[in-house]
Structure 1
Amino acid sequence: MTEEKQVTEEPLYCIGCGAQIQTTDPKAAGYTPASALAKQKEGEGIYCQRCFRLRHYNEVSDVQLTDDDFLRLLNQIGQVDALIVNVIDIFDFNGSVIPGLHRFVGKNPVILVGNKADVLPKSVKPAKIKRWLMHQAKEQGLKPLDVVLVSAEKGWGVEDLMAEIDKERKGRDVYVVGTTNVGKSTLINRIISDQTGMQDLITTSRFPGTTLDRIEIPLDDGHQIVDTPGIVHREQMAHYLSAKDLKLVTPTKPIKPKVYQLNEGQTLFLAGLARFDYLSGGRHGFVAYLDNQLFVHRTKTSNADDFYRRQLGKLLQPPRPNEVADFPPLVRYEFHAHEKSDLVFSGLGWITVPANTQVAGYAPEGVSVVLRSALI
């Protein structure tokens, strides 16, 4: 009889953040492609993909948090004396608000950063956007010191943000928080590359404080900007799209508003992702603020259910044909607009509706549809 020898592989850990190395989930902590892992020398230490990119290319990428991690992070923020920089996506304000943030920041001051300001129509005045964001933030329980508009992708507004941070932090650390898909990592990368002397520090040595749940960017006085992981907001449309279609919920060019003259009993399909029904209020113009490439189809409400059933994955794409079977059913929400308002499909865009109208919005189960005061 031969005795079988059992071999147990020792777990590997990233020397940059301490996460256990894994090769299966690119979005989870500790991910390293199997091919890259084979090339790294264990004796010299192993970096996960996130730390490798940070160390060699100054690229910060989010590690998604579980609900428990999220609560732990918020509790940490409430226990420190810090300036909080809350990054939101102007195109998806409702989908990028961190639920309950106001209960955890305590007395810590907050600067609200509206990213992707460059995708709003050029006719919209920045001062109006800032006033609207301030009002919306206060409705969420936050009382920001100020609102700063930026485009992390294009780089404008970042100097203004850094000036505001220098003015308000008063010798404290700065915590940057935001949900996934708001462009927070792009903003952090921009800050890293723009700050004098930081680039050499990052590229010539291991980045200080690169732990599993935060990255620390050193400041001149010994304090730091602390980048926290992107918090998953479960109501975002992005979670229901393939990588090929994510561009439809993350526009990179200024939105061109489209006006639809609708009678009662007419429906707009926003590809196969959402639906807008005009129920009552007389003939009116409705303005849609959506990615310029998103297909919109108008039909009679009486035919809408049958049309959606027949055309989902065909004329109405996305979802694509091979994704239809797994696509969630659309859920209906009805609203009465007493004043000019936006009907928002979280992460997809919004339709501005006139006062004294009755409308309904449909979105995949799990994606929120809300009525808010009009942005434009």
Structure 2
Amino acid sequence: MNEEIKCIGCGSTIQTTDKDGLGYTPNSALEKGLESGDVYCQRCFRLRHYNDIQDVSLTDDDFLRLLNSIGEEDALIVNVVDIFDFNGSLIPGLHRFIGSNPVLLVGNKVDILPKSLKRGKLTQWMRERAHEVGLRPEEVVLTSAKKNSEMEDLLKTIEKYRKGRDVIVVGVTNVGKSTLINGIIKATAGVQELITTSQFPGTTLDKIEIPLDDGKFLIDTPGIIHNFQMAHYLGKKDLRLIAPTKEIKPKVYQLNEGQTLFLGGLARFDFIQGERQSFVTYVSNDLGMHRTKLENADAFYEKHVGGLLTPPQQDEVSDFPELVRFEFSVKESTDIVFAGLGWITIDSPCVVAGWAPKGVDVIRRKALV
């Protein structure tokens, strides 16, 4: 091949020689793609048709290089975050990479949060959290890539701040960034599912430039991989269990001091000290919860992980990281957040501990709900 052909799914350069390399596609598939005008690499083809994910070989340096290049552009930066995993989907130090470019903070997957949560309160909460990490967005927008009406509102906001510039969309893996861009393309050009989307981390491999009417571009970038996200420790089946696809139904647990709550076999919440009180869990409706005595919790986990306590599945237990403990003394309304899994809201003073797989963050934050 003399001229460079890009996969319209992930942006990688198409090649037909290295089966294990990025952008590989068989000659026969390439010929068909060139005839139809839709050229996909084998990886994207398998992802689109069989939901079969293959690992990518991009390094942290690659992502850093891409981030560094953003500050050199004159563009509107659209930073997409997953509202359900807000802390896990912030890009550390993003404000240092964007130069003087304006930023829109877009909270995606708003449809999975309880309807009782007021949008005004949520956008204010997001703005406060963004300020804490040095990000000063022009506006905070809530959206769902699955709903056309939400997409239209987002497009109007982008157009308001774009002012004739390119639009660069950035986000960590798993925030629904490519789904969002597909929604924008569908809304503006009537083209459905141009970019490969998946619930698995790392499906966009290079920058993808989509032309806008005025000669500028909407630019999708690869998802930045956060290694402390829960998604990196789970298989396909378990990922579907923990990633909510419909509105979360909060569950309330009345706990006494000295009780433990297991979130499947992925995390654990200990009520160490305090008056009997209610704890509200916000996790996927499909994740099983189990209560036991704190003094028996270690033995209970060892006996039941991979069985009663799933995920992980039985055949994955030997490779699953040990759970690591984080203790918190709570004085006011607080969320204890298990990165990529959800959170537990506490309203009364107490001492608690959260456990998560080694490498996955457990943090406290001002209560969202």
How many Å apart are 1:50 and its aligned residue?
A: 6.2
Aligned partner letter, 1:199: V
Distance 1:234 1:319, change over 3 A: same
Distance 1:20 1:357, change over 3 A: farther
Alignment partner for residue 23 of structure 1, among 19, 25, 33?
Answer: 19
- RMSD of aligned C-alpha atoms? 3.0
Alignment partner for residue 338 of structure 1, among 326, 331, 334?
Answer: 331
Alignment partner for residue 165 of structure 1, among 154, 158, 161?
Answer: 158
Distance 1:229 1:64 in 2: 12
Residue 195 of structure 1 aligns to a residue whose secondary structure is: helix
How many Å apart are 1:242 and its aligned residue?
A: 1.1
CA contact 2:148–2:187 (8 Å) conserved in 1: no
* Per-residue deviation, residues 172-231 of structure 1 (Å, max 9, x unmatched): 1110001111111111111111104x639x89xxxxxxx962111111211111111111
Of structures 1 and 2, the larger Rg is shown by 1
CA contact 1:341–1:354 (8 Å) conserved in 2: yes
TM normalised by structure 2 equals 0.86
Q: Which runs of structure 2 are paired with 1:357-368 in the superposition (5 Å)? A: 357-368=350-361
User: Which 4+ stretches in 1 moved above 2 angstroms?
Assistant: 12-24, 36-47, 49-54, 61-65, 153-156
How many Å apart are 1:332 and its aligned residue?
A: 0.5
Distance 2:328 2:308 in 1: 28
Residue 79 of structure 1 aligns to a residue whose secondary structure is: coil
Distance 1:220 1:108 in 2: 21
Distance 1:306 1:275, change over 3 A: same
Matched with 1:208 is none
**Aligned: 1:194 with 2:187:** yes
Distance 1:171 1:105 in 2: 18
How many Å apart are 1:41 and its aligned residue?
A: 4.4
TM normalised by structure 1 equals 0.85
How many Å apart are 1:29 and its aligned residue?
A: 3.2
Matched with 1:141 is 134
Alignment partner for residue 64 of structure 2, among 71, 93, 117?
Answer: 71
Alignment partner for residue 252 of structure 1, among 238, 241, 245?
Answer: 245
Aligned partner letter, 1:18: T
How many Å apart are 1:118 and its aligned residue?
A: 0.3
Alignment partner for residue 271 of structure 1, among 264, 278, 283?
Answer: 264
How many Å apart are 1:337 and its aligned residue?
A: 1.5
Distance 1:342 1:79, change over 3 A: same
Q: Which runs of structure 2 are paired with 1:5-44 in the superposition (5 Å)? A: 15-16=6-7, 17-18=12-13, 20=15, 22-24=18-20, 29-32=22-25, 36=26, 39-41=29-31
**Aligned: 1:236 with 2:265:** no
Distance 2:44 2:288 in 1: 39
Aligned partner letter, 1:332: R
Residue 160 of structure 1 aligns to a residue whose secondary structure is: helix
- Which runs of 5 or more structure 1 residues have no equivalent in the other structure? 1-9, 204-210
Distance 1:353 1:41 in 2: 59
CA contact 1:62–1:230 (8 Å) conserved in 2: no
Distance 2:317 2:361 in 1: 20
CA contact 1:314–1:321 (8 Å) conserved in 2: yes
